[in-house]
A and B are shown apart, each in its own frame.
Chain A
Amino acid sequence: MSVSFKLAWRALRQNLLTTWIAIFTISLSGGLFMGAWKTKQSVKVAFAQSAGGFDAVLGARGSQLQLVLNALFHMENSPGNLAWEQYEAIQSHPGVSEAYPFALGDNYLGYRLVGTTSSLFAKHEWKPGKKYQVKSPGRIFSDSAKEALVGAQVAEEIGLKLGDKFHPYHGLEYNPDTKHEDVYLVVGILEGTGTPADQVIWIPLKGVQMMEGHDPAAANFISGVLLNLKGSSGLVLDVKYNKQGDRATLAWPVPAILSSFFNRFAWLERTVAALALLMALVGGLIILATLRSTMHERRREFAVLRCIGAGRSVVTGSIIWQSMLISLAGVIGSLLIYLFLSQVFSIVIRSQIGVNMGLPFLDNTILFTSLGILALGLISAWLPARKLYCSNLQESLNPHG
């Protein structure tokens, strides 16, 4: 261990309170920045990966974004209904490889009931090579029975299990006064997918259409159609439904629509970036203030060291080490705070919208932020170190005695 390092380490220990304040501030600044930045990125990626393996959604005339959020993320209200004929028409379109109708309108204790066909679970791959799996000994519901397939998160949160029976409630929000008379039997629990599919209860399409208390006319309507398209047929369908037609909206392509959703939060990104810069400035100033205050105390110590033979590089090196040790501890603290925040955000997002953000990952943003903190330490040390390097030894000792 070099003398410079020892001097720096000892100086940090001698000024523990100041040192901890500096480390804490830098950790908080760096951690918040990493956390906010990475959460934004992770949410974006997680949303894109949680689209359930669909290219497009056909729904009532209205906002494409509302359609995507409603159909794939089970958020927002449905923009309206679509006639059954619309489903039949698009299902038979040569550019469509998969089409699954869905209907919304009921809930159980606040968890949405999504009516669809059993083929969604039998054929569709929600992720390349991955179909929905029903936990053994369960099975997929029958299209003509009052049976339910429960998403993994719902089962976990409200304890629904195989063989349980429940009454659905009308509407998308839970209201005890709106209980339907129909009774549904849980015939299967889905394996977790880390997508919003875990957050809903799946029942046969006819169940929603013909639920007791629903308008009998609703039996000919659905909320929308989940689609997978062949090749470039999206362009053709886009023209047909969005540009020429006026009865339905095709939300396509899903990633671009999600991207436009996140673009709405560009101001947040800019605010986070500005905040990060401000925090970096504060962090740098704190290191500088810490070094300046300890330098004032250590001025004589440095002069003594010079008198007993320490070169300029030894004493200036100790200032740089001191700053770098604070920065290094700041980087470690930032990473810990980042991991903690990521976990918190991940849990909140998972419980709110069912999107699994996955494990916090270390990539270039984290690497560059960490290097930035170290660079900040180096820059902050530069001024005091340079001043010390250039200072006259005589000034620090009794000069003319």
Chain B
Amino acid sequence: MTLVAVQNLQKSYPSSEGGTEMIVNVSSFNLGEKDQLALQGSSGSGKTTFLHLLAGVLLPDSGQITFSGQGLHLMDESRRDQLRLNQIGYVFQSFNLLNGFSCLENLLLTMELKGKPDPEHAGSLLQAVGLGNRINYLPYQLSIGQQQRVAVARALVNRPKLVLADEPTGNLDPENTDRSLQLLRSLCEEWGSALVLVSHDPRVIAQFEKQIDWEEINHVKRTGSDMNNFSKRVEEVS
């Protein structure tokens, strides 16, 4: 059964020359429930923008995204917030844990946004990612790999239907990369969540049965100098 369906999706940004620059141009993309999919593409090629579009963080210039049959373009911002809160988990490259909050509090706060904090569930999830003995640690007291595991637990804590992982292993060494990836995939499977993971690392992509080359589905033509300029701008902004 289809969880996410994308049709004729386009997104542009104002370019430095004054016009607009198309970043995303995807004519069709489908994701089934519980699917696990890896999107491979080079840095600065619009993958993150695509994830933001799927999550309803951004609105497309044109085209449609449906989530469980509901059109994102028909939802107001507050409903899109609710959709993210209830149905989508997010894992970031830099983890983005809330610094003043302990591991447990990071998870509870996410649950509290939904109005249902459940310390037992949050604790069991931290247990599942191997941090049961560090639930009260603050993010800076954890190693990079441990922080990533908290980020994975946080993404799953509200039992989402879809987990979006944006270069989740970008800051990890190969050993932690494999461990985190395995954890993320097994937990998604266990909790029945679909997973879309974007990465530029072929080693990560190779671990997925379903792989999509981002440049193949994103019909945006760029010259070499375009890419360089674009990447520079991305670096400037981020």
Say whether B81 faces chain A, with CB atoms less than 8 Å apart.
Answer: yes
Instruction: Tell me whether B113 and A401 are in contact (CB under 8 A).
Output: no
Q: How far is the CA of A13 from the CA of B98 in the complex (A)?
A: 13
Partner of A310 from the list B46, B100, B113 (CB cut-off 8 Å) is: B113
Instruction: Tell me whether B234 and A399 are in contact (CB under 8 A).
Output: yes
Chain A 300-313 per-residue mask, 1 if CB under 8 angstroms from chain B, else 0: 11001111111110
Instruction: Tell me whether A394 and B230 are in contact (CB under 8 A).
Output: no
A236 to chain B, nearest CB (A): 77
Say whether B118 faces chain A, with CB atoms less than 8 Å apart.
Answer: no
Say whether B70 faces chain A, with CB atoms less than 8 Å apart.
Answer: no
Chain A 303-325 per-residue mask, 1 if CB under 8 angstroms from chain B, else 0: 01111111110100000000000
Say whether B149 faces chain A, with CB atoms less than 8 Å apart.
Answer: no
Say whether A398 faces chain B, with CB atoms less than 8 Å apart.
Answer: yes
In the complex, chain A residues 136-158 whose Cβ is within 8 Å of any chain B Cβ: none
Q: How far is the CA of A309 from the CA of B13 in the complex (A)?
A: 24
Say whether B82 faces chain A, with CB atoms less than 8 Å apart.
Answer: yes
Q: Known interface pairs A311-B81, A393-B57. Does A399 touch B48 (Cβ–Cβ under 8 Å)?
A: yes
Partner of A398 from the list B86, B89, B234 (CB cut-off 8 Å) is: B234
Instruction: Tell me whether B100 and A13 are in contact (CB under 8 A).
Output: yes
Q: How far is the CA of A395 from the CA of B57 in the complex (A)?
A: 11
- Residues of chain A with a CB closer than 8 A to B110's CB: 308-309
Say whether A11 faces chain B, with CB atoms less than 8 Å apart.
Answer: yes
Say whether A10 faces chain B, with CB atoms less than 8 Å apart.
Answer: yes
A312 to chain B, nearest CB (A): 7
Instruction: Tell me whether A399 and B112 are in contact (CB under 8 A).
Output: no
Question: Which residue of chain A has the shortest Cβ distance to B200 in the bound complex?
Answer: A401
Q: Sorted from nearest, which 6 A-B pairs have the closest CB atoms? A: A309-B85, A401-B48, A10-B100, A309-B84, A304-B96, A398-B238
Instruction: Tell me whether A309 and B81 are in contact (CB under 8 A).
Output: yes
Instruction: Tell me whether B238 and A307 are in contact (CB under 8 A).
Output: no
Instruction: Tell me whether A308 and B90 are in contact (CB under 8 A).
Output: yes
Chain B 90-108 per-residue mask, 1 if CB under 8 angstroms from chain A, else 0: 1011001011110000000
Given A7-B98, A307-B92, A308-B113, 7 more A-B residue pairs with CB atoms under 8 Å apart are A14-B99, A300-B96, A304-B98, A393-B57, A400-B233, A400-B237, A401-B47
Say whether A397 faces chain B, with CB atoms less than 8 Å apart.
Answer: yes
Chain A 1-31 per-residue mask, 1 if CB under 8 angstroms from chain B, else 0: 0010011001101100000000000000000
- Residues of chain A with a CB closer than 8 A to B85's CB: 308-310
Q: How far is the CA of A308 from the CA of B84 in the complex (A)?
A: 6
A11 to chain B, nearest CB (A): 7
Q: How far is the CA of A397 from the CA of B44 in the complex (A)?
A: 13
Chain B 206-238 per-residue mask, 1 if CB under 8 angstroms from chain A, else 0: 000000000000000000000000100110011
Partner of B99 from the list A301, A308, A397, A401 (CB cut-off 8 Å) is: A301
B94 to chain A, nearest CB (A): 9
Partner of B230 from the list A6, A13, A395, A400 (CB cut-off 8 Å) is: A400
Q: What are 10 of the A-B contact pairs (CB < 8 Å)?
A: A3-B109, A10-B101, A13-B100, A304-B90, A309-B81, A309-B84, A309-B158, A314-B113, A397-B52, A400-B48
Most buried by A among B45, B86, B98, B110: B98
Which B positions have Cβ atoms within 8 angstroms of A? 13, 23, 43-49, 52, 55, 57-58, 77-78, 81-86, 88-90, 92-93, 96, 98-101, 109-110, 112-114, 154, 158, 166-167, 230, 233-234, 237-238
Q: How far is the CA of A249 from the CA of B77 in the complex (A)?
A: 81
Partner of B55 from the list A10, A307, A398 (CB cut-off 8 Å) is: A307
Q: How far is the CA of A7 from the CA of B23 in the complex (A)?
A: 34
- Residues of chain B with a CB closer than 8 A to A7's CB: 98, 109
- Residues of chain B with a CB closer than 8 A to A6's CB: 109, 112
Partner of B13 from the list A10, A397, A399 (CB cut-off 8 Å) is: A399
Instruction: Tell me whether B57 and A307 are in contact (CB under 8 A).
Output: yes
Most buried by B among A312, A395, A400: A400
Q: How far is the CA of A333 from the CA of B45 in the complex (A)?
A: 54
Question: Which residue of chain A has the shortest Cβ distance to B101 in the bound complex?
Answer: A10
Instruction: Tell me whether A401 and B98 are in contact (CB under 8 A).
Output: no
Most buried by B among A6, A14, A307, A309: A309
In the complex, chain A residues 188-204 whose Cβ is within 8 Å of any chain B Cβ: none
Instruction: Tell me whether A401 and B86 are in contact (CB under 8 A).
Output: no
Question: Which residue of chain A has the shortest Cβ distance to B114 in the bound complex?
Answer: A309
Instruction: Tell me whether A400 and B57 are in contact (CB under 8 A).
Output: no
- Residues of chain A with a CB closer than 8 A to B55's CB: 307
Q: Known interface pairs A310-B113, A401-B44. Does A394 touch B100 (Cβ–Cβ under 8 Å)?
A: no
- Residues of chain B with a CB closer than 8 A to A307's CB: 55, 57, 84, 90, 92
Q: Known interface pairs A306-B57, A309-B84. Does A399 touch B100 (Cβ–Cβ under 8 Å)?
A: no
Question: Which residue of chain B has the shortest Cβ distance to A395 in the bound complex?
Answer: B237
Question: Which residue of chain B has the shortest Cβ distance to A310 in the bound complex?
Answer: B113
Most buried by B among A13, A300, A314, A398: A398
- Residues of chain B with a CB closer than 8 A to A394's CB: 49, 52, 57-58
Chain A 97-119 per-residue mask, 1 if CB under 8 angstroms from chain B, else 0: 00000000000000000000000
Question: Which residue of chain B has the shortest Cβ distance to A311 in the bound complex?
Answer: B81
Instruction: Tell me whether B238 and A399 are in contact (CB under 8 A).
Output: yes
Q: Known interface pairs A307-B90, A308-B110, A311-B78. Does A401 touch B100 (Cβ–Cβ under 8 Å)?
A: no
